Amino acid sequence: MGPRPRSPFRRATPWLVPSLLAVSVAAALTVVPGTEADDGRSAPTAAALAEPGEVRGKDGTAGSPGRPVPRPDARDVVLAVHGGAGSALDPATTPPERAQAYRDGLANALRAGKKALDDGGTSLDAVAAAVRVLEDDPLFNAGKGAVFNADAEHELDASIMRGADLAAGAVAGVRSLRNPIDGARLVMEKSKHVLLSGEGADDFGARHGLATVTQDYYWTQARWDALLRAKEAERGGTSAARAPEALADARSTGTVGAVAVDRRRDLAAATSTGGLTNKLPGRVGDSPVIGAGTYAKNGTVAASATGAGEVFIRGAATATIANLMEFKGLGVAPAAYEVVVERLPRLGGQGGVIALAPNGDFDAPHSSPGMLHGYLTRDGRLVTKIYPQESPANS
């Protein structure tokens, strides 16, 4: 049984689902090597798509007659991480070592978060621990490995939020904190503010003993090359054919995030990024903006976003998911799908979210062709997904 043909439109075209069902069923039964464990829901997912589903919404959005309601990607999830949305990795051309490195990075983050939970920590401890590991991994666009701005410098954004009391903290445009997520948590716990930016944020972190680094710490060859390609594309490139490829590459940014629920059913979410390659100095994306890149509210959702930050800010992406759940009664999967796949593309931006409900229902919809993510279930199963073929269609 071969893998499902790759289509960048899989998750953005629910009306195609019935006609693609036969293909989906075939592919859903394929276990892609490299995952630590099959999540065990491939077949149920395909079966769920065959059901008419419950009907919701007056405006033709997720769940309207004739379209299946998006179902959770997984259930009984306690922790999930993402490593950014962008162009899709292709199993045929991705070197196995690189694929393994992505899976290891996601799995290491999940393990760090699991340890925090196992040690009796809160969901906030778990998301902070998971994001810190991803910030330290040079493969991802956060902390070490952050992208370059247009001045060939690094400016990093991060935020964290606790669902129990809506406490939140964020840093934007930091240039010397080794782990911006620690800065975000510090703002939340040790200041009366929510968002500190630039030098003030760096100084606040340093004064409270956070590890600081010089700019060269964040450097990686891959991000440097991406900046050069972006500059070349900006100048018109060497040929028209190469420019779109270079731009697409620059947008595959590898922002990281985590969501968790703990034993008390308290939710938490965190996000960290270097932003977009070749961004204007001073530009702040959605990642440190509460309600855009990160949101957690008990009883609804913990969500972390990745993608075209400006659109996620304008669409109040993660807060809207929570609001759709709270005020419209949507489940986590239809709410996340409606925002990410239906609403935000209309504003002109692609990306994805990881979204976790207090009961463990989890979904990771994305309108971009790919999104690296993984999750850990209550019974300890750890799943990583780096290829679009590993995610069920329309969930």
Q: What is the DSSP secondary structure assignment for residue 269, as one 8-state letter?
A: E
Exactly one of 45, 123, 149, 253 binds ligand ASP (CB under 6 A); that residue is 253
CA distance 283 to 280: 5
Is residue 349 a contact residue for ligand ASP (CB under 6 A)?
no
Helices 198-207, 180-190: axis angle to 10 degrees equals: 80
Is 286 one of the binding residues for ligand ASP (CB under 6 A)?
Answer: yes
- Does residue 138 belong to the site contacting ligand ASP (CB under 6 A)? no
Place of tokens 């007659």: 65
Residue 103: alpha-carbon gap to chain centroid: 15
CA angle 393, 11, 81 (to 5 degrees): 85
Distance in Å, CB of 95 to ligand ASP, minimum: 22
CB-wise, 78 or 259, nearer to ligand ASP? 259
177 with 186: CB under 8 angstroms?
A: no
Q: Beginning with the edge strand found earlier in the chain, give each strand of the sheet holding 301-307 in spatial order.
A: 294-297, 301-307, 351-356, 362-363
Instruction: Point out which span in 15-23, 230-238, 273-281, 378-386 binds ligand ASP (CB under 6 A).
Output: 273-281
- Establish if 287 lies at the interface with ligand ASP (CB under 6 A): yes
Of 285, 291, 360, 365, the one binding ligand ASP by CB under 6 A: 285
Minimal CA–CA distance to 286: which of 61, 85, 152? 85
Decide: is 156 part of the binding site for ligand ASP (CB under 6 A): no
For the segment 180-209, give every residue that binds ligand ASP (CB under 6 A): none
The string of DSSP letters for 244-263 reads HHHHHHHH----EEEEEE-T
Stretch that binds ligand ASP, among 21-29, 34-42, 94-102, 283-291 (CB under 6 A): 283-291
Q: Does 275 bind ligand ASP (CB under 6 A)?
A: yes
Least distance (Å) between residue 383 CB and ligand ASP: 21
350 binds ligand ASP (CB under 6 A): no
> Should residue 277 be labelled a site residue for ligand ASP when binding is judged by CB under 6 A?
no
Q: Please identify, using beta-carbon distances, which residue of 57 and 307 lies nearer to ligand ASP.
A: 307
Rg over CA atoms, the chain: 19
Residue closer to ligand ASP, measured from CB, 331 or 351: 351
41 or 132: CB nearest ligand ASP: 132
- Using CB under 6 A as the binding rule, whether residue 370 contacts ligand ASP is answered as no
DSSP assignment of 128-194 equals HHHHHHHHH-TTSSSSTTPPP-TTS---EEEEEEETTTTEEEEEEEESSBS-HHHHHHHHHHHSS-S
53 binding ligand ASP? (CB under 6 A): no
Tell me whether residue 14 or residue 285 sits nearer to ligand ASP (CB atom).
Answer: 285
Cα–Cα distance for residue pair 145/180, rounded to 1 Å: 13
* Alpha-carbon gap, residue 100 to 80, rounded angstroms: 18
| Subset of 289-308 contacting ligand ASP (CB under 6 A) | 306-307
Residue with CB nearest ligand ASP? 309
User: Which residues, 6+ apart, have CB-to-CB distance to 356 below 8 Å?
Assistant: 77, 80, 259, 260, 261, 267, 301, 302, 303, 332, 362
Residue span 1-40 as binding mask against ligand ASP, x where in contact by CB under 6 A, dash where not: ----------------------------------------
- By annotation, the residues acting in catalysis are 255
Q: For ligand ASP, which residue of 45, 255, 298, 304 counts as binding (CB under 6 A)?
A: 255
| Binding residue (CB under 6 A) for ligand ASP from 14, 72, 84, 374 | 84
CA-to-CA dists, residue 125 to 28, 177, 318, 389, angstroms: 34, 19, 20, 32
Contact set with ligand ASP (CB under 6 A): 84, 253, 255, 273, 275-276, 285-287, 306-307, 309
